[in-house]
């Protein structure tokens, strides 16, 4: 099984740093006081394409050779990886085909197309996006850029934590814990690699919707658990039914634990981020904060890194959520 190490993350950062937006960590005195902890936010909704996913896509695609770039790339995604790959393809002057669920948010479909990608839809209840993607890749000789189960994608996602660690170490501090949203587990895997080197005793947690908590269940069972769930919730970006194979091995080896919350807690976190920072977060982007706010006792007295992972949501939908 392919593994990823800190040198891979550092190498990825050296390749992609000139393409990245600055997402400096921020804090909230009121939240620190309420939690009796030091909370540090990495606002990746301010990253290019509105999420951390650009990091992993760019990491993988900057390694493509001339022939691969000439043939183009393909990816499957519910929206944020789609935009990351499409944007990276535009920057690298190659073509992209993106396989997206037919019920993906309109704004994510629109944004993906705006980068020049060809979008192919599938029914997430009936079709296998993996099979569709692999078939097209073979037929058109395209390189498949996987959303999470890829060493170079994981390394790219880890660069967000690498930047956060550099920032806190300049203050002569270290992170005691981190909470990261999880779909396939790529961001968690990259983050865990960086933070376990930074502080071997750092406690790491995935954040998931309670109806899609496959990581939480998998860590408890010490094996990958598949969730057969037809309920489409508010966290459209986190509805992968099982952890990735590579990502689960990394995360389980790094003793990652799982947290999960309901929609009400997620919306409360979205409201807080908007009121405190004027941040517009999609539900999936706010879930790590929601898990923090729902687990005060677990994080009391600690220095905690929270990955705010994305903000790809229409203004209309956002207003609907925060007005409830």
Per-residue pLDDT of 107-146, as tens digits, reads 999 999 999 999 999 998 889 999 999 999 999 999 999 9
Q: Place 228 in a pLDDT band, splitting at 50, 70 and 90.
A: confident
**Is 78 among the catalytic positions?**
yes
Judged against a pLDDT cut of 60, whether residue 1 lies above it is answered with: no
Judged against a pLDDT cut of 80, whether residue 231 lies above it is answered with: no
* 71 token code pair: 């043939």
* 310 token code pair: 């994305």
Judged against a pLDDT cut of 60, whether residue 85 lies above it is answered with: yes
Q: Place 2 in a pLDDT band, splitting at 50, 70 and 90.
A: low
Judged against a pLDDT cut of 80, whether residue 294 lies above it is answered with: yes
Q: Is the dihedral of CA 81, 109, 231, 180 positive or negative?
A: positive
Q: Place 213 in a pLDDT band, splitting at 50, 70 and 90.
A: very high
With a CB cutoff of 8 Å and minimum separation 6, the contacts of 64 are 73, 92, 94, 143
Q: Place 255 in a pLDDT band, splitting at 50, 70 and 90.
A: very high
Judged against a pLDDT cut of 70, whether residue 182 lies above it is answered with: yes
N- to C-terminal Cα separation, the chain: 46
Average pLDDT over residues 204-222: 97
Judged against a pLDDT cut of 70, whether residue 311 lies above it is answered with: yes
Q: Is the dihedral of CA 271, 285, 127, 224 positive or negative?
A: negative
Q: What is the mean pLDDT of the chain?
A: 96
Q: Which residue among 53, 108, 146, 196 is the active-site one? A: 53
Average pLDDT over residues 260-269: 97
Could you write out the DSSP letters of every residue in 240-292? -SS--HHHHHHHHHTT-EEEEE-HHHHHHHHHHHHHHH-----HHHHHHHHHH
**Is 183 among the catalytic positions?**
no
- Give pLDDT, residue 240: 87
**pTM beyond cutoff 0.85:** yes
Which domains are assigned to the chain? 6-51+151-322 (3.40.50.1100), 54-144 (3.40.50.1100)
Q: What number of residues does the chain have?
A: 324
Determine the distance from the C-alpha atom of residue 175 to the mean position of all C-alpha atoms in its chain, rounded to a whole number.
Answer: 19
Measured from the Cβ of residue 203, the count of other Cβ atoms closer than 10 Å reads 18
Please name the helix (run of DSSP H) or strand (run of DSSP E) that holds residue 217, with its range, or none.
helix 214-221
Cα angle 247-252-258, degrees, rounded to a multiple of 5? 95
- Give pLDDT, residue 258: 98
Strands 303-308, 38-43: pairing kind = parallel
Q: Which residue among 59, 77, 78, 260 is the active-site one? A: 78
CA distances, 214 to each of 30, 93, 127, 137, 208 (Å): 32, 37, 20, 28, 8
Q: Place 150 in a pLDDT band, splitting at 50, 70 and 90.
A: very high
- Give pLDDT, residue 37: 98
Q: Place 230 in a pLDDT band, splitting at 50, 70 and 90.
A: low
Distance, CA of 230 to CA of 32 (rounded, Å): 38
Determine the distance from the C-alpha atom of residue 51 to the mean position of all C-alpha atoms in its chain, rounded to a whole number.
Answer: 7
């Amino acid at each position: 099984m392919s593994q990823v190490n800190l040198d891979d993350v550092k190498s990825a950062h050296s390749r992609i740093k000139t393409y990245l937006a600055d997402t400096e960590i921020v804090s909230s005195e009121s939240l620190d006081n309420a939690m009796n902890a030091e909370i540090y936010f990495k606002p990746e909704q301010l990253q290019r394409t509105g999420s951390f996913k650009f990091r992993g896509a760019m990491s993988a695609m900057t390694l493509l050779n001339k022939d691969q770039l000439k043939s183009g790339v393909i990816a499957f995604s519910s929206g944020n990886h789609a935009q990351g790959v499409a944007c990276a393809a535009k920057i690298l002057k190659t073509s992209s085909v993106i396989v997206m669920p037919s019920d993906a948010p309109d704004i994510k479909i629109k944004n993906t197309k705006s980068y020049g990608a060809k979008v192919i839809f599938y029914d997430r209840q009936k079709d296998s996006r993996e099979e569709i993607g692999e078939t097209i890749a073979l037929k058109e000789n395209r390189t498949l850029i996987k959303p999470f189960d890829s060493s170079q994608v994981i390394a790219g996602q880890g660069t967000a934590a690498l930047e956060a660690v550099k920032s806190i170490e300049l203050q002569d501090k270290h992170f005691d814990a981190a909470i990261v949203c999880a779909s396939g587990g790529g961001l968690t895997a990259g983050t865990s690699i960086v933070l376990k080197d930074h502080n071997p005793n750092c406690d790491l947690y995935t954040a998931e919707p309670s109806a899609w908590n496959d990581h939480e269940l998998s860590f408890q069972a010490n094996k990958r658990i598949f969730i057969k769930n037809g309920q489409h919730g508010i966290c459209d970006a986190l509805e992968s039914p099982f952890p990735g194979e590579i990502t689960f091995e990394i995360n389980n080896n790094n003793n990652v634990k799982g947290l999960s919350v309901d929609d009400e807690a997620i919306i409360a976190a979205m409201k807080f981020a908007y009121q405190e920072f004027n941040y517009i977060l999609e539900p999936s982007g706010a879930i790590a904060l929601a898990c923090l706010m729902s687990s005060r006792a677990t994080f009391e007295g600690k220095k905690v890194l929270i990955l705010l992972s994305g903000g790809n949501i229409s203004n209309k939908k956002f207003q609907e959520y925060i007005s409830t």
